[in-house]
Amino acid sequence: MIDLKQRKAGGGKLSRSETVTVRLDPKLRYLAELAARKQRRTLSSFIEWAIEDVVGRVNLYEGSGYDGDNDLSIGGESAYLWDVDDSDRFVKLALRYPQLLTHDEQVIWKLIKENGYFWYGHWQDGIFEWSIEDTSFLYKRLRDNWDIVKQVASGEKLKSNLPSWNKYKKDDDARPLNAVRKTFDSFDDDLPF
């Protein structure tokens, strides 16, 4: 078992790395150690380099039919997909590559997609509507509510704890514009005589 520890970069500021425990077959570990020696690296550094190399070669799309994106790798998309905020990373992944979401992440994404509080939108026939796209998303609002969204998705909190928004545009009478309005002919049914 190999433990990749958090390391410090030389010089000024600290560089943070994640610790990952990896189980390797004894033969693979031995060969990785030899490869690390050949490159004058530590085993940990070699594994990090090898993962970075492979990530650059793993295609996001296999086969044809993706408008020329067959050669688009995870490494090639790293500038878009990476963000220091995990909520921002989540949304970027969900918007561009929803097929890579786990089941639990799909539950979170459904809550976000269905909540107009997190989106720029417009009024259409008195109802607030939005498009599910990067330019419509309000990242700060999700950052501020990320823990609540995750707790609702996991069942720790009720859906009523999610932030709310005005679903319907109100007119001067404070009624939804799409409410049935009385016409002159419909008053006959309401008259008591």
* Domain residue ranges of the chain, discontinuous segments joined by +: 2-55, 83-161
Judge if pTM exceeds 0.95. Answer: no
Condensed to tens digits (0 to 9), the pLDDT of residues 142-159 reads: 999 999 999 999 999 999
Q: Could you tell me if 80 and 92 are in contact, meaning their C-beta atoms sit under 8 angstroms apart?
A: yes
Please name which of 84, 94, 100 lies closest in space to residue 119, comparing C-alpha atoms. Answer: 94
Residue 6's pLDDT is 47
CA 79 to chain centre: 15
What's the pLDDT score for residue 19? 86
pLDDT band for position 94 (cuts 50, 70, 90):
very high
Assign residue 40 a region (left: φ > 0; alpha: ψ between -120 and 50; beta: otherwise).
left
